[in-house]
Amino acid sequence: MKIIKTINFRGFGKKFGGKTRDFYIKDDTRIIISTDRISAFDKVLGYIPNKGQVLSQLSVFWFEQTKDIISNHLISVPHPNIIIVKNCKLIPIEMVVRGYMTGVTGTSIWGSYAKGERVIYGLRFKTGLKKNQKLPRPIITPTTKATKGHDARLTRKEILEKKIVSSKLYSQMEKTALKLFQRGTKICKRARIILVDTKYEFGLDKNNRLILIDEIHTPDSSRFWIEKTYKERFEKGLEPENFDKEFLRIWFKKRGYAGDGKPPKMPKSFIYKVTKRYISIYEMITGEKFVSL
């Protein structure tokens, strides 16, 4: 299978690189290339064929499905792995919305809850919750948007005290994030999928208006569980069937890796399984057959 590690263009100036995407800035636009690099625990861990195409095309699908809630940065799609977007001022906060008590990373709520914490991200949780249990209502657990190192937890109080954004703008971000999560939950339910949690990123356009940027409801930014088997597996204390990057995180955690030191190398058989999951979730959500470029 073909792997896209990076793409180099001429005539667009300096290339910038993130963990999984590269981009060029040209005037008021940004050219974003979704590569097949895969990251977890804030580290690049290898390459997954077709991953970049899935993320790019799935984000395009979701941008269309949510544009009535908030404007997004998408301008055009010249290639399955490439989108041209408005160049916006990044708001350095990841708005993480969670519908379930779960997770394995350092910023997850389950990790803290299992250690006995009951006030997490400034929110109070009752005693007696179990891993993977549905929360009474979706909650927002913001983190910093790290360019290097790990994302760090934030609370609403900290965001306002540090004046990262104004109270008015943050309230708008909260309301918008919850509306996006509600829309995502509704559409995923049609495909018999549970949208467990996700993250949204926002920016300000040239008119200083809030705009949705980055990606939305992809296997990299969200957890997806299979609705049909969730209840039975939860009652038995088993992990839900998932179609997201949690599968990869768990694989690395079982081998003693959580972001520090040298990661174990993924075997070809495992890489194939991850690719299959990315393609499957794309087809389930969009209802369209995935066609590899």
CATH number, domain at 241? 3.30.470.20
Helix axes 51-66, 268-286, angle to 10 degrees: 20
| pLDDT band per the 50, 70, 90 thresholds, residue 146 | low
Q: Is residue 242 domain-shared with residue 101, that is, in the same domain?
A: yes
Instruction: Please say which residue of 44, 70, 86 terminates a domain.
Output: 86
Q: Is residue 38 domain-shared with residue 107, that is, in the same domain?
A: no
Identify whether 68 is part of a domain. yes
Q: Can you give the pLDDT at residue 174?
A: 98
Q: Can you give the pLDDT at residue 1?
A: 67
**pLDDT tens readout for residues 61-101:** 999 999 999 999 999 999 999 999 999 999 999 999 999 99
Q: What percent of the chain has pLDDT over 70?
A: 98
Q: Can you give the pLDDT at residue 150?
A: 63
Q: Is residue 122 domain-shared with residue 145, that is, in the same domain?
A: yes
Q: Half-sphere exposure (CA, 13 Å, Cβ side) for 115? A: 9
Q: Is residue 110 domain-shared with residue 38, that is, in the same domain?
A: no
**pTM exceeding 0.85:** yes
Identify whether 248 is part of a domain. yes
Q: Is residue 100 domain-shared with residue 145, that is, in the same domain?
A: yes
Q: Is residue 68 domain-shared with residue 173, that is, in the same domain?
A: no
At 279, is the secondary structure helix, strand, or coil? helix
Identify whether 278 is part of a domain. no
In Å, what is the CA distance from 2 to each residue of 24, 35, 48, 134?
23, 11, 9, 39
Average pLDDT, the chain: 94
Instruction: Please say which residue of 54, 86, 118 terminates a domain.
Output: 86
CB of 43 closer than 8 Å to CB of 262: no
Instruction: Please say which residue of 86, 116, 140 terminates a domain.
Output: 86
Stretch 278-292: mean pLDDT, rounded?
A: 95
Structural domains in the chain (count): 2
Identify whether 272 is part of a domain. no
| pLDDT band per the 50, 70, 90 thresholds, residue 136 | very high
**pLDDT tens readout for residues 189-207:** 999 999 999 999 999 999 9
Identify whether 67 is part of a domain. yes
| pLDDT band per the 50, 70, 90 thresholds, residue 7 | confident
Q: Is residue 35 domain-shared with residue 176, that is, in the same domain?
A: no
Degrees to nearest 5, angle at CA 32 with 278 and 177: 65
Stretch 138-154: mean pLDDT, rounded?
A: 81
Per-residue pLDDT at 105 exceeds 80: no
Per-residue pLDDT at 284 exceeds 80: yes
Identify whether 53 is part of a domain. yes
CATH number, domain at 26? 3.30.200.20
**pLDDT tens readout for residues 233-245:** 999 999 999 888 8
Radius of gyration of the chain (CA): 19
Q: Is residue 93 domain-shared with residue 186, that is, in the same domain?
A: yes
* Strands 37-40 vs 193-204: parallel, antiparallel or unpaired: unpaired
Q: Is residue 130 domain-shared with residue 248, that is, in the same domain?
A: yes
Least confident of 143-157, 211-225, 272-286: 143-157
Structure-block tokens of residue 243: 């179609």
Q: How many CB atoms lie under 10 A from the CB of residue 274? A: 21
Which residue range is the domain that position 112 belongs to? 89-259
Distance CA 137, CA 31 (A): 37
Q: Is residue 160 domain-shared with residue 226, that is, in the same domain?
A: yes
Q: Can you give the pLDDT at residue 293?
A: 81
* Strands 133-140 vs 82-86: parallel, antiparallel or unpaired: unpaired
Identify whether 3 is part of a domain. no
CB of 93 closer than 8 Å to CB of 173: yes
Q: Is residue 118 domain-shared with residue 142, that is, in the same domain?
A: yes
| pLDDT band per the 50, 70, 90 thresholds, residue 49 | very high
Q: Is residue 206 domain-shared with residue 148, that is, in the same domain?
A: yes
Q: Can you give the pLDDT at residue 102?
A: 95
Per-residue pLDDT at 246 exceeds 90: no
